[in-house]
Chain A
Amino acid sequence: MKRIFLLIFLSVTFFAMSEDIAIPRPKDDLLYTEYTSRKSSPYIKKVIESSGWLAKDGKKFAFYQDTPSVMKVVNKGDEMSLKIGNNKPMKMKVSAAGGGEYSDVNILFTADTAEINRIFTINREAVGSKMRYFLQPKVKDGAVGKLEFMRFVGTGDKLEKLEMKYKNGTMIEFKFFNTVTGESIDEKKFD
């Protein structure tokens, strides 16, 4: 009898442990949000602040910065375009090779649950109506490999705050506001 209970207990524990932890996903994979960010580092004497918006529609993702300068990055499937100021955009194919090729913010919005769990160790705790997440990378190479941890707070399917700490001491903090999920996005945002 004792052995049966132990077996059941271990199976449940194993099942519970092996289950992927999902991070907040926008409803219907549709997202528009504005952000402000602060970047600090032991290598710079002052904080770099920026602002803009980002949008997601299924496999399409757009990141737009309006201060301190205009810049736009758009991912459509395996194609990426980069436009700086009034220059013509550069387009190239991007091959996603494991966790190493994802840009920092992009990964949270484009990678699926299984991939996120493959790349990061995820811990979460509920604090009131909000959920706090703490992610530590398992990979050691690529852009993700330079991270020490990522920490974010979300309610339902929306992120409110995101912090990324790098091994070299750099810290980037994002605050998201005016977030809209589940509503269709203007196609021009992905041009």
Chain B
Amino acid sequence: MKRNLISRVIVFSIIAVAVLLIVFSAMNLKLNSQITNMLPRDENLMRSVALTADSSVSDKLLLYIHNEDSEKLDMMIDKADAIVNAEDFLTPNIPTAQQINEIKLYLQKNAFVLYPYEEFDAPFSEAEIKNRLEKKFAYLQNNPFEDLGELFFADPLNQISDLMKLQFSSSNPLSVYRDGILSEDKTSYLRVFSTGSSSSDTKNSALLLDLDNKIKSIAAENGGNSFLYGAHFYFIESSSTIQKEVSVICVFSILLTILVFFFFFRNLELIFYAFMPVVAGMALTFVSILVFCKEFGAIALGFGATAAGICIDYSIHYLFKADFYGTLKDLRHGIGKSLFMGYLTTVLSFLLLLLSKIDSLGEIALFGCLVITFSFVLCWFGLQNLLPPEKIFYRVKYLSFGEKLFPKWRIPFVCLFACLAIASIFTHLETDSSKLDIQHKELDARAGKIISEFGESTNNVFIGFPGKTEDEAIDAAMNATLAIYKKMPELLFLNPAIFLPTENVVQSRIDYIMNNFDKQAFLNAVSQSDFTEAAFGSFFATLESLEDGTYGLGEFPSYLKMQADASIAEYDGMYYFMIHIGDRERAEKVYACLESLNVNFVPVDIMRDSVKGLQTFEMKSMILIGIAVILIFFAIFAAFKNVKIALTSILPIIAGLVGILGINALMKNPINIMHITSAILVVGIGVDYGILSSSTWNMWFKKDLVGDDWIKKRNSTVQSIFAAALTTLASFGLLAISSSGALFSLGISMIFGIVFALCTAVLIIPLAYGDK
């Protein structure tokens, strides 16, 4: 009694401390739900991920307001103003009136040097100067408020309008209005803000959600529609949804696992003994991750929440077999090898995930290896010593399977297997990594409104112009804009680099002007125009400064400088000038145009860049799984020195893999990295069933056990495999209800993989040994 009391105290204390450690660790662990963590670390992809995170778009937030009534629209804008102006972390992205004025003055003063002579024809012939002076006078006639000052005459050739065409070549019917823009029908309003934090930085999550609710309440009070939109909300929604679901799944999976366990053992106290290694193993795993990892993937944590279903297997197998042996030494001699081989093959299958070079799978591997190892060790040294066979206080509820084991189920199973085997031929690989995320229906609907009403795509699609220095990158971007303008102006994009030429470019233009501008031709044209020579004093002063080398562009306008600085990103020692394109279809056209012009650039599109890497990874993984199965065969052969045991042990693995491929082919789901992860797990788990089943039926085959002893042994093995499979299904199966594409894929594949492995272990392996 005293011994049992001590054991109870130890078990309950361990569980209590473990639960506290799990809760503490879970609350303090920083979660990462970026989808890029589930993509292979391809060089192009890593570059795209880094540049996108550093881009000028990553911290943007859009305010959208819609109302058919223009007065109500104004009222809603007023209310939104009051809300957003109270937040000091939001910076408007549209230039203020003062900044616009600064830009205008800068352009007027420097138009002569900003004009791209390297791509455009120089307007220096007398006829062209005359033509431009006529247009300038016509402009004056049509604009009564134009100031006839120095700056107006600093650009006699009206070169500013040529520069503007480089940026606003495509017709843009949007109206500038109240620090934002109006849609063409004037019923919708859009304003852009910078938040100062990238989309994956969640420190402002609560603030952004609160702000969004306040903005939405404006529409609730006034009709119409109003909301905020930005990449931040995708991260927040993914992260919070997965956290909530994983919490619920974790609780239910533990409850279901306990129910399954209770069904077979009918002893409440035994549950605590059985779960002690699992809970303590989880606690040690969580603490290790908290101590050694800065942050952890939400998907890996989702997997971890269901790992109880695998870890409990060691307790189940031990508790079933403890009934057959008198002492712990005898038990370890009898099934020790099987238990250890089962543990080893499961851990090896997790370790395979490390070869994927995918962060998320690496985290699953780390979690899996740790929790399974801790659980196995605690089961071996903890549970087995606290509850050795001589001290068991329970009786196993043995199910009766009759003399023949499910004879009627074999043919239906074989038929189902054949169907899925045929279906698996039609498997194809996933190319769209976004399907691993949850569906963001509301956010996608918001994006759809913005795109349809403003024509502005919200996708993170960029062009990066590389350079060894910032100046080189800026030059590359400017040259690309000029080249595109000449070939396909309808594809032009906004590029602040046009207005901020580097020193080299400025000098080359000055040299060109000095060699080609004919002052006399200019004076001749002026004498024939409606302007007097006195008008162009400021222009002649600029010419003089160009001649005597004292010319300078002056300080860049603050708004343009800010935009240009935000456009430069650095990666791996190179600088990239990033231009946001947004629309994928348009981006492809721009890429094709730039390629035809031999312009050096890099497309920056995470989704596009992930396709090739994903497919390569998926293909390589499937080959790797095949290799793993062969290695497992040799490992089992080396342990048991028996070809038949080795061969039959891998049958559940093969059946499980067919189940995964076949069901996804029937459901028309392309194979993604989570299906592959589940395949690897099924390899590790299925081989347990195979080893247990094969080693048991081998005894029957060798006539080591006969009669009632054999029936008892057989039933115990089958029940043990059933219990293990049911607990695994109870945990992983629940993942199939998750809205996350990744967790759903893992769940559905595990269900079919485990069921097929189980059926093969109890229906087909006996047949292989002649037990019909």
Contact = CB atoms under 8 A, between A and B. Distances in A.
B426 interface: no
Interface string B129-141: 0000000010011
A27 B129 CA distance: 50
A88 B182 CA distance: 11
Interface in A164-179: 166, 168, 170
B530 interface: yes
Interface stretch (B52-60, B144-152, B753-761): B144-152
Nearest to A91: B177
B148 A166 contact: yes
Given A92-B178, A95-B97, A44 B144 contact: no
Interface in A67-122: 68-69, 71, 73, 79, 84, 88-95, 103-104
A65 B142 CA distance: 9
B175 interface: yes
Contact of A69 (B142, B147, B178, B182): B142
A43 B534 contact: yes
Contacts of A143: 147
Contacts of A37: 144
A103 B535 CA distance: 22
B338 to A, nearest CB: 78
A41 interface: yes
A59 to B, nearest CB: 15
Contacts of B137: 44
A84 B182 CA distance: 18
Contacts of A189: none
A2 interface: no
B149 A168 contact: yes
A49 to B, nearest CB: 9
Contacts of B148: 41, 43-44, 166, 168, 170
B143 A71 contact: yes
Interface string B530-549: 11101100000000000000
Interface string B162-198: 0000000000010111110010000000000000000
B367 interface: no
A44 B535 contact: yes
Nearest to A101: B97
B206 to A, nearest CB: 31
B376 interface: no
A88 B140 contact: no
B303 interface: no
B343 interface: no
Given A95-B97, A146-B147, A168-B149, A44 B175 contact: no
Interface string A10-48: 000000000000000000000000000101011111101
A43 B154 CA distance: 13
B531 A43 contact: yes
A91 B97 contact: no
A136 interface: no
B153 interface: yes
Contacts of B531: 43-45
Nearest to A106: B145
B97 A89 contact: no
A71 B141 CA distance: 11
Contact of B175 (A43, A50, A88): A88
B530 A46 contact: yes
Contacts of B140: 44, 48
Contacts of A45: 529-532
A179 B147 CA distance: 27
Given A146-B147, A170-B148, A92 B142 contact: no
A146 B97 contact: no
A103 B145 contact: yes
A92 B148 CA distance: 23
Contacts of B142: 68-69, 71, 84
Contact of B177 (A43, A92, A94, A95): A92
A45 B528 CA distance: 10
A94 B530 CA distance: 33
B178 A44 contact: no
A92 B97 CA distance: 9
B145 A88 contact: no
Contacts of B141: 48, 50, 68-69
Contacts of A168: 148-149
A49 B396 CA distance: 108
A103 B173 CA distance: 27
A35 to B, nearest CB: 10
B176 A92 contact: yes
Given A43-B535, A90-B176, A91-B176, A50 B530 contact: no
A166 B175 CA distance: 33
Contacts of A88: 173, 175
B106 to A, nearest CB: 18
A171 to B, nearest CB: 10
A94 B143 contact: no
B662 to A, nearest CB: 59
Contacts of B175: 88-91
- Among B175, B182, B531, max chain A CB count under 10 A is at B175
A46 B140 CA distance: 12
A37 B531 CA distance: 19
Contacts of A93: 97, 178-179
A44 B148 CA distance: 10
Interface in B467-520: none
A71 B144 contact: yes
Given A43-B153, A45-B532, A50-B141, 20 more contacts: A39-B144, A42-B532, A42-B534, A43-B148, A43-B531, A43-B532, A44-B535, A50-B144, A65-B144, A68-B141, A71-B143, A88-B175, A91-B177, A91-B182, A92-B176, A93-B179, A104-B145, A146-B147, A146-B149, A166-B148
24 contacts: A42-B532, A42-B535, A43-B153, A43-B532, A44-B137, A44-B531, A44-B535, A45-B532, A46-B530, A48-B140, A48-B144, A73-B145, A84-B142, A88-B173, A88-B175, A90-B175, A90-B176, A91-B175, A91-B176, A91-B178, A92-B176, A92-B178, A104-B145, A166-B148
Interface of B: 97, 137, 140-145, 147-149, 153, 173, 175-179, 182, 529-532, 534-535
**What are the nearest 6 A-B pairs in CB distance?**
A43-B535, A69-B142, A91-B177, A68-B141, A170-B148, A45-B530
